[in-house]
A = this chain, B = another copy of it.
Amino acid sequence: MESRIDRIKKQLHGASYKLTPQREATVRVLLENEEDHLSAEDVYLLVKEKAPEIGLATVYRTLELLTELKIVDKINFGDGVSRYDLRQEGAAHFHHHLVCIECGAVDEIQEDLLEDVEAVVEKRWNFQIKDHRLTFHGICWRCTEKHAEEKNKENVNNPNNNEDF
């Protein structure tokens, strides 16, 4: 974790920015919540817990800066807020997302999976791909399991209700 911060510090310096205490606090929040997909407001509230004097504008500015430097990616799942997602260190491309339309959970796919598709697009459409956004909308494994359980319970109550026949 500390080394990760150090490397981010170096990236900032490389672009002649400083890792101020406010920026560091923001980066730490992102690192501590790597699984989540926080909005600027979310980040602000979490940073405020550790550094109450920080302003919302600074959080926005920091997130914008980190996005420029490709340390985080800004993504929008269609709910009207931008969310910020740490990029895997050394990842050439942004990872993919699974958004559950029932429970709203967002899971990540770190595997590339798009190599073949990108080769086709580069050649057939003569398009030089620099980055991508891929999101699947559907039903997550947790909701699928829950449905199965509910069906089980139903069948215990009504043993004749067997949809298989």
Residues on A lying within 8 angstroms of B by beta carbon are 74, 76, 78, 82, 98, 101, 107, 109, 113-114, 116-118, 120-121, 125-141, 144
Secondary structure of the A contact surface, majority rule: strand
The answer on a CB contact under 8 Å between A135 and B138 is no
The answer on a CB contact under 8 Å between B130 and A137 is yes
* Residues on the B chain within 8 Å of A117, using CB: 113-114, 117
The answer on a CB contact under 8 Å between B134 and A134 is yes
* Residues on the B chain within 8 Å of A74, using CB: 78
* In the bound complex, CA of A12 to CA of B116 (Å): 39
Q: A132-B135, A134-B134 are known contacts. Are A140 and B127 too (CB-CB below 8 A)? A: yes
The answer on a CB contact under 8 Å between A98 and B127 is yes
